[in-house]
Structure 1
Amino acid sequence: MPPLSAGTDTVSVVGLEYAGATTLTPAILESIQTTDMLAWISIAAFFVALVLRWQGALEPARYLATGAWVAFGSFWVTMVPYYYYEVQSPLQTVLALAALPLCAYTGYLLWGGRDSLFVLTKAIAFMGLIYLPAEMIPVVRTWLIETTAAQTHYGMELLGHSPGLVEGSNGYRSKFDFDPNETVTGRTTYIILACTGIGSMAIFGGLIAAVKAPLKRKATAFALAIGVIWFLNLVRNVFIGLASPWGWFQQDWLVSFMTTYMGAEANRVSFLVSHNYIAQSLSVVALVGITYLVVKIVPEALKPLEDVLFILTGNEYDLFDALADDHVRADGGSDRDR
C-alpha cells in the first residue's frame, strides 16, 4: 500500500495491507479476490488431503496435496506486484517469486512418494488455520492491530516520544500522530495486520501443531515462541515507527543511492531502510534463533525442517545429529538416558 499524498495524511506503511490509501479499482479488487481465493482453496485442500490420508486413501491424498501445493505457490506469486511496487521490499519479492517453483517441487516430491512431506503439509494447513481467521474476522483483526499499536506507542513513550494514536487511513486507531512540521521527514507510520507478528506466530504454531509430541512440551515451545516473537516484533515496530519520522537514515549518500537506483522517494528513505532492509534482515536471524529454541524443546519439529532443506538443496540432512549437542531423540529423551 502506498503512502498518502503529502499535506493530507503522509503515511508510510509498517507492513502490507490491501486497503487504505490505495484506490480500490476493479482491477485491484479482482487481484485481491484472486489472492484470497487461492489462500482459502490451498489451505482447505491441505486439510482435505490430510483427512483422506487419515482415512487410508493415500493416492487421492497425494494428488490433492500436490494440487494444494501448486495453489499455495500461486498465492504467493500474486503477492509479487505488492511486494515489488507498493512495499518495495527486495527480500519479500524474491521469496514470493521463489514460492511457486519450490511449492510445485514439493508437490512433485509428494506425488512421487515422499510421504514424510505430509507432516510439512499439515504444518502449512495449521499455519493457515491460525492466520486466516485473524485476516478475515474483523473483530480479531481490529483487536490485533489496535492492541499492537497501543503497545508500540507505550514503547515509544519509554524512549521519550509520545505522538498519540489516531485513526489511520486503514480505518484503525493505529496511526502514530507525529506533527509533520516538527519531524525530519514529515512522515509517520501506522500499524497493520502484518505488524502484529501473527504471521511468524502462525509459522511456529503450525510447525508445533503438526508434529507428534507430548502436549506439555508442545505448549511450552509454543508459549516460548509466541513470547519471543511478541517482544521482538514490539521492538521492531518501535524502531521503524521512530526511524521514519525522525529520519535516522536520511544521510545524503543513502538518499542519493535509494532515489537513483531503488526508485524511492527521498523522504521515505528512512522508512525503507529501517523496514525493508534492517528489520527484515534481522527478522530472518530471529526466526532462525527461535527455531533453535523450539527444536530444543520439541525435537520432533526437526523432521519437517529436514524436508524443507531437502526441497531447497536436494540433499538429505540429519538435523538431530547436527543440532542436538546431547543427542536428543525424537521422543524427547537423550542418548545419555540410556
Structure 2
Amino acid sequence: MSSAPFAVGVDSVVFLESADVIPHVPAIVGGIGLTDVLAWVSIGAFFAAFLLHWQSGPDAARRIGAVAWLLFGVFWLTMVPYYYYDVQSPLQTVLALAALPLCAYTGYLLFAGRQSLLLLTKAVGIMGLIYLPAETIPFVRAWLIETTAAQTHYGMELLGHSPGLSEGVNGYESRFDFDPNETVTGRTTYIVMACTGLGSMAIFGGLIASVTAPLKRKAAAFALSIGVIWALNLTRNVFIGLASPWGWFQQDWIVSFMTTYLGAEADRVSYLVAHNYVSQSLSVVALIGITYLVVRILPEVLAPLEEVLYVLSGNEYDLFEALGKDEYRPDKHNTGTAAD
C-alpha cells in the first residue's frame, strides 16, 4: 500500500488490521504508483525552481515554480480516494480536495509576478527532499516504521499493556499483537510510514531550512520542533493503538451515529474516533503550538507564513510588525548577530 508523502500537517496514521479491510491502491502506471510519480516530479520541479532562482534569476524560477505548484495540487487530488475510503478521514479528505485549487492559485500568483512566493516554493521543495527519500528507500522506511512501532509498544507497556509485536500486512514488525479473543473489538492496529511523524517534521524542517538566519538559532528551532513532534506523535500512536482494540469509544450512541450516518463498521468505531476525530483535531492544535515556539526562536519563518496567509485570504499581513519582530524581516538584510 502506498502512503502519502505529506499529509497537510496531520500525517500520523495507525491502520486497522483485519482480513476484510483492504487498502485502496492509487492508480498505477507501469507498476509505479501514479501518486509517487507526481510527488517526485512536483518536488523535483520545486527544487529546480530554487536552483534557477539561484543561478538564472527569478523569471525562470517563477515559471518552473508555477508548474511545480500545479503538479503538487494534482498529486493531492490523487490522494482523495485514499483518505476517503481507506483512512475515512473527513479532515484529510477535505484538505486534499482543497489543495488543488489552492496550489493552482499559488502557481498563478507566482507566474503573475509575486516573487516573494519563491521562498515558500523553496520551503516545500526542501520538505519533499526530507520526506521522499525516507518514503522510498526500503531500509530507511523499514527502520523508521519498526522503530516507531517498538517505541509505541514501550509506551503501551508503561500503561500496563504488552501485546508484543508481529509482522503486519505491510511486511514490517509493526503490528500490535493483541489477542482478538481478549479485546473488546477483536481488532488491532499496525504502524505505517505516516505514523512516524516524519511528514510534520519535514514541514518544519523545510520552513526552517528555507530562511536565512544564524545556524545556531536554526538548529535550536529544528531540535525543538522535532523533539516535540516526536513526543506528541508517540503519545498519539499509543492512544490510538490502545483505543482501537479496547473499544474506548464503543459507546452505543457513538456506534449508532457512526454506522448510520458515516458508514463505519461497528467494531471499527473506536479506531475511527480516536484517529480521525480526536487525534487529528489535536494535531492541528499541536502544529499551531509548535509553530508559535519555532517563531519565538526563529522569527524569520514568519516570511513564508505570510505568503501562506496571503494565498488563503488574498490579504497582505505583516506578521513581523504584529509580533514586534520587524528587525528579523528578510529585506532588512540582518546578520542576526544581535539576536543570537
Task: State whether TM-score is above 0.5.
Answer: yes
1:229 matched to 2:229? The reply is yes
**Cross-structure match for 2:246:** 246
**1:311 to 1:16, Cα distance in 2 relative to 1, 3 A:** farther
Distance in 1 (alpha carbons) for counterparts of 2:162 and 2:232: 21
The DSSP-based 3-state class of the residue aligned with 1:174 is: strand
TM superposition shift of 1:86? 1.0
**Cross-structure match for 2:71:** 71
**Cross-structure match for 1:84:** 84
TM superposition shift of 1:63? 1.0
TM superposition shift of 1:48? 1.1
The DSSP-based 3-state class of the residue aligned with 1:145 is: helix
Instruction: Between the two structures, name the one with larger relative contact order (CA 8 Å, sep ≥ 6).
Output: 2
TM superposition shift of 1:322? 2.8
1:301 matched to 2:313? The reply is no
1:165 matched to 2:165? The reply is yes
Q: Which segments of 5 or more consecutive residues in structure 1 lack a partner in the other structure?
A: 2-12
Distance in 2 (alpha carbons) for counterparts of 1:313 and 1:291: 19
Equivalent pair of 1:16/1:194 in contact (CA under 8 Å): no
Aligned length: 321
**Cross-structure match for 2:28:** 29
Distance in 2 (alpha carbons) for counterparts of 1:185 and 1:70: 43
1:269 matched to 2:269? The reply is yes
**Cross-structure match for 1:124:** 124
Equivalent pair of 1:119/1:210 in contact (CA under 8 Å): yes
More displaced stretch, 136-145 vs 313-322: 313-322
TM superposition shift of 1:24? 8.4
Distance in 2 (alpha carbons) for counterparts of 1:260 and 1:249: 16
The DSSP-based 3-state class of the residue aligned with 2:250 is: coil
Distance in 2 (alpha carbons) for counterparts of 1:56 and 1:90: 43
TM-score, structure 1 normalization: 0.90
Distance in 1 (alpha carbons) for counterparts of 2:267 and 2:244: 9
Q: Could you give the per-residue CA deviations for residues 86-110 of structure 1, whole angstroms, max 9, x where no partner exists? A: 1100000000000010001101111
TM superposition shift of 1:329? 3.1
Q: Which runs of 4+ in 1 moved over 4 A?
A: 331-335
Distance in 2 (alpha carbons) for counterparts of 1:244 and 1:323: 42
Distance in 2 (alpha carbons) for counterparts of 1:113 and 1:122: 16
Distance in 1 (alpha carbons) for counterparts of 2:318 and 2:337: 16
Distance in 2 (alpha carbons) for counterparts of 1:216 and 1:65: 30
Distance in 2 (alpha carbons) for counterparts of 1:23 and 1:296: 41
Cα-Cα RMSD: 2.3
TM superposition shift of 1:57? 3.8
Equivalent pair of 2:213/2:336 in contact (CA under 8 Å): no
1:1-338 to 2 correspondence within 5 Å?
Answer: 14=14, 22=22, 28-30=27-29, 33-324=33-324, 329-330=328-329, 331=334
Distance in 1 (alpha carbons) for counterparts of 2:23 and 2:100: 28
TM-score, structure 2 normalization: 0.89
**1:24 to 1:307, Cα distance in 2 relative to 1, 3 A:** closer
TM superposition shift of 1:299? 0.5
Equivalent pair of 1:16/1:192 in contact (CA under 8 Å): no
Match of 1:61, as an amino acid? A
Match of 1:59, as an amino acid? D
TM superposition shift of 1:327? 6.2
**1:24 to 1:237, Cα distance in 2 relative to 1, 3 A:** closer
The DSSP-based 3-state class of the residue aligned with 2:153 is: helix
Match of 1:329, as an amino acid? Y
The DSSP-based 3-state class of the residue aligned with 1:239 is: helix
TM superposition shift of 1:217? 0.5
The DSSP-based 3-state class of the residue aligned with 2:134 is: helix
Q: Which segments of 5 or more consecutive residues in structure 2 lack a partner in the other structure?
A: 2-12
Q: Could you give the per-residue CA deviations for residues 98-143 of structure 1, whole angstroms, max 9, x where no partner exists? A: 0010001101111111111110000000000000011100010000
